[in-house]
Structure 1
Amino acid sequence: MGDASNITFITLDGFVELHKYRYLCFVIMFTAYVLIISCNSTIVCLIVIHRNLHEPMYIFIAALLANSVLFSTNIYPKMLIDFLSEKQVISSSLCSFQGFIYYTLAGSEFLLLAAMAYDRYVSICKPLQYPTIMRKRRVNIFLVLAWITPACELTLSGAINAERKLCNFTLKGIFCTNLVYKLQCVISGAQFIYGAAVLVIISLFPTLFILFTYIRILIISYRSCKTVRRKAAQTCLPHLLALINFSCFFTYDVITGRMETDITETVHLVITLQMILYHPLLNPIIYGVKMKEIYKHIKRLFCQVKSQ
């Protein structure tokens, strides 16, 4: 539908039973958003402040947590407004922008996890060469590529989608994802192939690379002493947990967006809320508790707060 200014609006139809629980949902999700910002930002600040955490592994963790803050900020403010609104609508241009940021940051997540896997591989399998290989310049290149590559690939896809005419204006979701494809009158073969190629590059390839490096780490650590095995477990387990958690939710998002499913609206809403709730909160818990050096600084910080 359009208004006098010829702006097309899309109705977000994923807020099922909202009128009954809107205030409860708002309080829960607002609290979650505050926790996400606080927990992730705290660890990022600790890594920035303390020089002993200025190592590639912790820099990648800081980038990953900052990515979670941006990921949540792309979704939560608009969603919180919708919880309290009578009508949940979004302009088509803003919807396209939200979807672009959503998948750009999702792609960055996979690439950052791949960079972390490479860092752990070099640290454990080539410890003598680690200072030479993982120099500051190379770390910076990895960070830039992790954020720039998905953005460049999705810019073309976004430009193609912007030219597509919409025949349906009701989106079966609570924010804009690739469900927007189902609103288009026609989806060309070239558009579908390019979208699949982007998906493979920003998600499948990094995931396969991560699995390959961790298999190599597992083989090397199995043949090595107990100290190496303990180091591998302490540093690689958090990364694997983060990868498994994010991959499961991202796979669900792709399946529901690209294929016809029999999932009810209520189930889809619950899973979507879990996707934007668990992952950004799980990352700081994983890295804050499992990473020994970060955990030390968190304990020291809380002790200082209590003593004041």
Structure 2
Amino acid sequence: MENNSQIVFVLHGLNDSASNRQLFFSLALVSYLVTVLVNVTLVVTVVFDRHLHEPIYVFLCNLCLNGICGASCFYPKLLHDLLADAHVISYAGCLLQIFISYSYVFCEFTSLTVMAYDRYLAICRPLQYGALMTKQKVVQLLLLTWTFSLLETLVGTAMTASLPLCGRHVRKLFCTNWEVVKLSCVDTTLNNIYGFVLMFSHMSQTVLILVSYGHLVRAAIRSHSHRRKFLQTCLPHLVTLLVFAASLVFDVMYSRYGAGTMQVLQNILAAEFLVVPPLVNPLIYGMKLQQIRSRILDKFGLRAETEK
């Protein structure tokens, strides 16, 4: 096989007619633009409103920015391929797509863990919240989120890049680590072990989130004010976690069992974790968090109309 850097991967996710691809291009373009718009709107609203400069809203902005990164590693290439006759990607471009998409996944998990910790302190330890969740602590948690996510992705991508490859056909709309590893000419046990380590790490984060929610539910049951705060800020977080987890499950289903399914269903299962959470997250928080919703309605002059 030729040197890895000379490989051009062939993507096998788009086999529809030209007319269908044009329709999908329109839908994908609208979806991408709406995703960027709702995320940017929420971030700008928080940044320019001093009343929203609180930890929960800062973490929410981080979640939205991460969602834009995740969507942007998928949509531009998809839009190009929907109008192109040849669906190919360079070796370097493939590794870059893997790095950004997996950084997005790991950062999403870690961000949701940090937000669960913030909600635990706010509801279960309200008197100590100000002292525990300082500006310095917020900055430290954000740095930890991105550093941890980027480092574990960098290691995984470097391990994949070190593999000699004996194939160039990727059975997906976009490059994923597993699809590239399957093309290797050598044993990939070390890569698989690292994958299990990452899986265990993020399963542990999920356990931490569930434990924190156990405490939050008990606090909400005991107090009416805690119950209201839980419904306003924790319920959106829980829905976000469930949407993201479900999207990853669908991606695993595709990787394991998608070979015999219809092409359209394969594409939906493969791309859902890059499409649904970045679009849904800001909508969930924007509708449920009263302060953000009222600020957005004010900016667009819609609050008075909705109150009539």
TM-score range, shorter chain: over 0.9
**Secondary structure of the equivalent of 2:89?**
strand
Q: Alignment identity in percent?
A: 34
Pairing of 1:63-82 with structure 2 (within 5 A) = 63-82=62-81
Does the aligned pair in 1 maintain the 2:13–2:172 contact within 8 Å?
yes
Give distance in 1, aligned partners of 2:270 and 2:189: 28
Cα distance, 1:251 vs. partner?
2.5
For structure 1, which runs of at least 5 residues remain unmatched after alignment? none
Q: Which segment drifts farther, 11-20 or 241-250?
A: 11-20
Pairing of 1:53-202 with structure 2 (within 5 A) = 53-178=52-177, 179-201=179-201
Partner of 1:302: 300
**Secondary structure of the equivalent of 2:15?**
coil
Task: Compute the RMSD of aligned alpha carbons.
Answer: 2.2
Letter in 2 for 1:250: L
Q: 1:253 aligns with which of 239, 251, 254?
A: 251
CA-to-aligned-CA distance 1:78-109 (integer Å, 9 cap, x gap):
11101100010001121011101101111000
For structure 2, which runs of at least 5 residues remain unmatched after alignment? none
Cα distance, 1:43 vs. partner?
0.5
The TM-score normalised by the length of structure 1 is 0.92
**Secondary structure of the equivalent of 1:176?**
coil
Cα distance, 1:40 vs. partner?
0.3
The TM-score normalised by the length of structure 2 is 0.92
Does the aligned pair in 2 maintain the 1:2–1:9 contact within 8 Å?
no
Give distance in 2, aligned partners of 1:177 and 1:250: 13
**Secondary structure of the equivalent of 2:10?**
strand
Give distance in 1, aligned partners of 2:260 and 2:105: 23
Partner of 1:43: 42
Give distance in 2, aligned partners of 1:263 and 1:221: 46
1:30 maps onto 2:29 in alignment:
yes
Does the aligned pair in 2 maintain the 1:11–1:171 contact within 8 Å?
yes
Letter in 2 for 1:109: E
Partner of 1:204: 203
**Secondary structure of the equivalent of 2:174?**
coil
Paired positions, count: 303
Partner of 1:239: 237
CA-to-aligned-CA distance 1:238-287 (integer Å, 9 cap, x gap):
00111000111113324544x46554233211223444332211111101
Give distance in 2, aligned partners of 1:105 and 1:52: 28
Cα distance, 1:304 vs. partner?
7.4
